[in-house]
Structure 1
Amino acid sequence: MAAGPSWSVMPSVLIVEIFSYLSLKDRLRASSSCKRWRSCLFHPSLWCGVVLNLSYSKRQRTRFLVERCGRFLRQVVICFNSNNPTEVRECLRILEVLSENKVIASLGLQPSSCHLEWTCEPPFYVTDRYLTCIEKIISTSRKLKHLSLGSVDQLLEHSHTVLELLSRYHCDRLKALHLASVKEDSENYGIIDLNVDLIRSFKALQHLSIDYDFLSSSLLEAFLSTEKDQLDRLCIHVHGIEPDHEKITNETWRKLRNRHPKLEVTINLIHSYEGVANLLDILQPCLPLTNFRQFFCSNLNMAAVDFISTHHSESLRSFYVIDGFQDGYPNLYISTTEEDPFVMMAWRCSKLEEFTLIGYEVLDDNVVAIARLRGQNLKTFNIPYSCVSTVYETDGENAMQVERYVNPELADMVSSSLGWSWQPLPDNQTPRAVYDDQADAETAYMKILHSDQAWKCK
């Protein structure tokens, strides 16, 4: 007050407090008032969590932010095109800065694919440099609670090293660990030597993502200890299945569910032909299945679909299947019962909120039935135009015929049941890999997998 009515001499603690109530956009505008306010913009308390985007239009801004705040950021997500060597290199530079950060609590990689592309240097050189930074981040940080390697197979091949360091430095505080990978060739990949017993050391773990290759009764029983925090989410990626892989018993799942009553399990089948064929061996009645997803597996196990809707009717919230067309046409699924299995799922599963079926032919009457049964509880309902068929009667020898066109009244009937405006998914919004088997399928599911691995802990 003695200095007069000048905003520029307001104490820094008050400026920072004001900034803390503003959105990032308004905070940036306010910081342009004067040099003093600009300096307060970069107070550590204002930059707890950031998403660093390495696309060309945002790269300069990201570089500046990392240079100013990289050593005191607490929650960091790095989004980048892993098929672009420039963005892969930029991501590495960010990791080098973060390796000096002692307060980082959450690190998540969100690449566009499961592979890192690089030019000039051999592939192993890229992996080694990334791993060196990640290892240093783990050993330098004093507060690490969440780590996601973005399903990058090249990095996750060294999960044993990451797991050992996490066990050594963060066994009492780590809340989320995501080691699940993506195998584009699910029939031909090596199984790494991963000592899953180290997971026993994590006392605060709430979220875990892991490949089905390493899932065992021993691992699940480690969470039965009363000394551990509640396990809230378990995400399982299914690729190939070894002939001698242990089958998790229903009794093991029953014990785990009783110990962790709020546990939600997500099963993602990714290019997994064996996973579809053996799905009934993976599923168990006491498994608390919340999200089931199947990405480009070339088949549907209708007996397993019926099993899910029968035994997981009280837990299933999301059902997502996407597959490629065969010879330019959607696939057909053969029901083992008189009723359509997806209509029965809508009837039985009282908590179903999201339903997506792409790549398979669906009768318009069944689309309407699903919408009527779920009503306003269904928040997401994705069926492409090109997958909807209409049955009509004829006077000829064939009493019924099926035609691939959308009844003009379909959208209105479905919208009326859902309570929100619905349209079949336009073909131009359907992933290209559905129509073109040469297209990159990862663009259809990587964002979904990243959402599984986002920071959600309390």
Structure 2
Amino acid sequence: MVVFFLVSSGRGKLVLVPDELSCHEVSMSELIDQRAEFANEAWGSLPDTILTQIFFHLNVVDRCKASCVCRHWMHCIEIPLLWRKFSCGFFLPTQGNIIKCLKKYGRHVRDLSIELNQSEKTNRNNAVAVIDHVASLKEPRLTHLTISFRGENPLFYAGQEFTSALKRLFETIGKSDHCSLTHVNLRGLESNFTDEFVNTLSSNCKNLEYLNLLNKVLVCNISAESIVTLIKKCKKLKILHMYHASLSNNVLHAFAQSEREPLQRLGIVCRRQEKYGEDLIPSAWSDLLIRSPGLKVELGFDHTCPLHRVSEIMKPEIPVQELHLVTFSRIYPEVRLAASYYRETLVKLVVQTRPSKELEEALLEVAQHCFLLHTLYVYCIVRKEIVNRILELCPAMKTKKTYILKSEMEPEPWTVGQEEGD
């Protein structure tokens, strides 16, 4: 049996030393070398399952560096399970080395996430190279795709190279017998989407279940006709986020067809184009709810949406779970409307407006009547007694701190869209 002793290192620390080393004088350098040898042996002898769990939490770059430590680690890095999710970011020119890692392990990737500062051409080229490499694989296994821009678009930039690369990727996946995209999130991709782009997606990804097309460009160029085609071809689509400009009665009727999966969630954002939009008939919503009784709707209005259109678009037939009224104008009549229309469905309410007594009364109505209300973000001053009354009516919201209600102006958080937990 080996006995260990604690020996002072001379630096205020104790070193664990075997008995045979403590029986005679040992230099500090020898102790350090001995300790390092024990440590290396310990790390090198860790079971594969433990190492795999550790490597799973490393980013792509650190994971590749870890593969150079020893053969055992390199063997663990080769496990396909580690590469099913591949997240890469391009914010510096040197980050292009990630592509080398993708070329080695890309055949295992099922969930691909790309973030970049699109203001630099090098970053855009690297991100497009990632998409092109996955599109060049003979047997891609990609099922989830997320792309997010984190910077400012260059002047007159339309993101043409990204939409072209994505169309090539969709066409490759459409020919594959081994994979099919089920989850596509393009919310952060500030590129110009067209009917041709959506049609390419729907023709090649018929097993699609989730799609987010809220790309934040100034004008939505996706017609309702292309959305109808998407719905007819992608019969498993359960979650769709889109602009109201692309919505029509025919879109709702297409979702109500019996041969497709029931719709679970529909996200709608209304903007400046609603000035020329048409109202959806209540019966179209009623027919959809018969086919999809569990449907939850996220309805949002930004500051560019004409104010008179807000109340016209809000209808009692819509099962609104989340309502975002980011208008920066007096919106209290619409808040009262929400308390009346969505008392059985509303879970989250976000309001960006001007303070007023009428608004406070409307917020109290929401707290009193919407018994499912879980989250309330109000980006203006509300009197202290009103805040206290709302929290009395919604104790769970107070306990979980899922609210922003300020009685005094503070620097943060006052930026809509950056609420904690979203």
With structure 1 as the length reference, what TM-score do the two structures score? 0.70
> What amino acid is the match of 2:133?
V
Q: Hey, what does 2:112 align to over in structure 1?
A: 76
Residue 213 of structure 2 corresponds to: 179
The secondary structure found in structure 2 opposite 1:307 is helix
Residue 381 of structure 1 pairs with residue 381 of structure 2: no
Distance 1:382 1:51, change over 3 A: farther
The equivalent residue for 1:66 is 102
Offset at residue 19 of structure 1 (A): 4.9
Following superposition, the deviation at residue 349 of structure 1 comes to: 1.4
TM-superposed CA distance for 1:42, in Å, is 3.4
Partner of 1:134: 166
- In structure 2, C-alpha distance between the alignment counterparts of 1:254 and 1:132, rounded to whole Å: 38
Deviation track 1:390-424 (CA, whole Å, cap 9, x = no partner) reads xxxxxxxxxxxxxxxxxxxxxxxxxxxxxxxxxxx
Output the amino acid matched with 2:405: I
The reply to whether residue 302 of structure 1 matches residue 346 of structure 2 is no
Deviation string for 1:270-314 (max 9, x for gaps)?
33231x32111111112110111133x221322211111122122
> In structure 2, what is the Cα distance between the partners aligned to 1:334 and 1:9?
68
Q: Which residue of structure 2 aligns with residue 319 of structure 1? A: 349
From 251, 256, 278, give the equivalent of 1:246: 278
Name the stretch that deviates more: 52-61 or 258-267. 52-61
Are the aligned partners of 2:192 and 2:217 in contact in 1 as well (CA < 8 Å)? no
Kindly indicate whether the alpha-carbon contact (under 8 Å) linking 1:232 and 1:260 is maintained by their aligned counterparts in 2.
Answer: yes
Q: Which structure is higher in RCO with an 8 Å CA cutoff and minimum separation 6?
A: 1
Q: What displacement does 1:134 show?
A: 0.3
Match of 1:290 in 2: 321
Q: Corresponding residue for 2:200?
A: 165
Q: Is 1:143 aligned with 2:175?
A: no
Check conservation: 1:77, 1:107, Cα contact below 8 A.
yes
Q: Secondary structure at the match of 2:358?
A: coil
Aligned alpha-carbon RMSD (Å)? 3.3
**C-alpha distance in structure 2 between counterparts of 1:230 and 1:266, whole Å:** 17
Cα distance change, pair 128–278 in 1 and its aligned pair in 2 (3 A): closer
281, 287, 292: which one pairs with 1:260?
292
CA distance in 2, matches of 1:130, 1:356: 35
Equivalent positions of 1:17-32 (< 5 A) are 19=51, 21-22=53-54, 24-25=56-57
Structure 1 vs Structure 2: percent identity of aligned residues?
Answer: 18
Contact 1:8 1:37 in 2 (8 A): no
Structure 2 CA distance for aligned equivalents of residues 429 and 302 of structure 1: 21
Shift of 1:212: 0.5
Task: Quickly say closer, same or farther: Cα 1:20–1:223, change in 2 above 3 A.
Answer: farther
Q: CA 1:65 to 1:267, structure 2 compared with 1: closer, same or farther past 3 Å?
A: farther
Q: Does 2:77 correspond to 1:41? A: yes
Q: Does the CA contact (< 8 Å) of 1:181 and 1:237 recur in 2?
A: no
TM-score (normalised: structure 2):
0.76
Q: CA contact under 8 A between 2:211 and 2:241: conserved in structure 1?
A: yes
Tell me what 1:350 maps to. 371
Q: Given that residues 355 and 382 in structure 1 are in contact (C-alpha distance below 8 angstroms), is that contact kept between their aligned partners in structure 2?
A: yes
Q: CA deviation at 1:180?
A: 2.5
Whether the aligned pair in 2 keeps the contact of 1:183 and 1:239 (CA below 8 Å) is no
Superposed displacement of residue 151, structure 1 = 4.9
Counterparts in 2 of 1:430 and 1:242: CA distance versus 1, 3 Å: closer
User: What runs of 5+ residues in structure 2 fail to find an aligned partner?
Assistant: 1-40, 174-178
| Deviation at residue 210 of structure 1 after TM alignment | 1.2
In the alignment, structure 1 segments of 5+ residues that lack a partner are 1-5, 324-330, 388-425, 432-443, 452-458
User: 1:206 aligned to 2:238?
Assistant: yes
Give the number of aligned pairs. Answer: 365
Give distance in 2, aligned partners of 1:84 and 1:270.
Answer: 29
